Amino acid sequence: MDQFPILKTKRLILDQIKPSDIPNIVAYAGNIKIVENTRSMPYPYHEEDAISWMHVANSGFKAKDNYMFAIRFSDTLSFIGGIGLTIDQENNRAELGYWLAEDFWNMGLTTEAVKAIIKFGFEELKLNKIFAVYLTSNEASGKVMIKNRMVKEAEFKDHDVKRGHTIEDNIYVSLTQYRMTRSEYESL
C-alpha cells in the first residue's frame, strides 16, 4: 500500500491528516471533555501537539505500524476527529483508538468510523485481532465497541496514570478492554 488509504462510509470519509486540519485539531482536542475521556491526550492542547500527531501519523504509515485517519464529513470534508490502528506486527494485532469533537457526539458517527476501521484492519491489513480500551468513566466509548460487536475481554483497575500539573494532581484510571478476532469478524 503506497498511497494512504481512504475509507468511505455513508456519512464519513476517513483519510490522511493534513496540515490544513491543524486549526480544527487544536480547537477540538483542546476541549477538556475530550482530554477527560482519552488516555493520553495532552492538556492544554497546542498547535505543536497537532503537528506532532500529524508527523506520528505520517511516519507510522511509512513504517506500516500505525494507521491514523482524520474523520471527516463526506459532504464538507471538514475534520471532526481522529481514529487509528497501532499495529503490533509481531503478534498480527492492533490497538484501535479514536476521538470525536464534542459537537458531533451522540450521532452514531464514531460507531460508523469504528466499523470502517475494523473492516480495514481485517480485510486490508489481514490482522488477526483488533482490541480497544476505554476509561471506565467513558461509557459512551464502550457502547461504540458493543455496537460494533466487539467482545469484552478484560478490566484493568487503576491501570493508567493521567498526569496532572504536579505529581499530586496525578490520578489513576481504570480501563475496560474489548476485542474482535478474525474468526469473530468472519462470523458476523
Output DSSP code: residue 65.
Answer: S
Q: How confident is the model at residue 39 (pLDDT cuts 50, 70, 90)?
A: confident
Query: Any idea which residue has 485481532 for its cell?
Result: 129
Locate all alpha helices (DSSP H) within 12-108, ordered by sequence. 22-29, 32-36, 47-63
pLDDT above 70 as % of the chain? 97
Inform me whether the pLDDT recorded for 160 exceeds 70.
Answer: yes
Encode pLDDT of 50-93 as tens digits.
Answer: 999 999 999 999 999 999 999 999 999 999 999 999 999 999 99
Inform me whether the pLDDT recorded for 162 exceeds 90.
Answer: no
Instruction: Determine the Cα–Cα distance for residues 188 and 182; give it in Å rounded to an integer.
Output: 10
Mean pLDDT over the full length of the chain: 95
First-last CA distance in the chain: 26
pLDDT of residue 163: 63
Which sequence spans correspond to the domains of the chain?
7-186
User: Could you tell me which CATH class the domain 7-186 is placed in?
Assistant: alpha beta
pTM: 0.94
Encode pLDDT of 150-159 as tens digits.
Answer: 999 999 998 8
Inform me whether the pLDDT recorded for 165 exceeds 70.
Answer: no
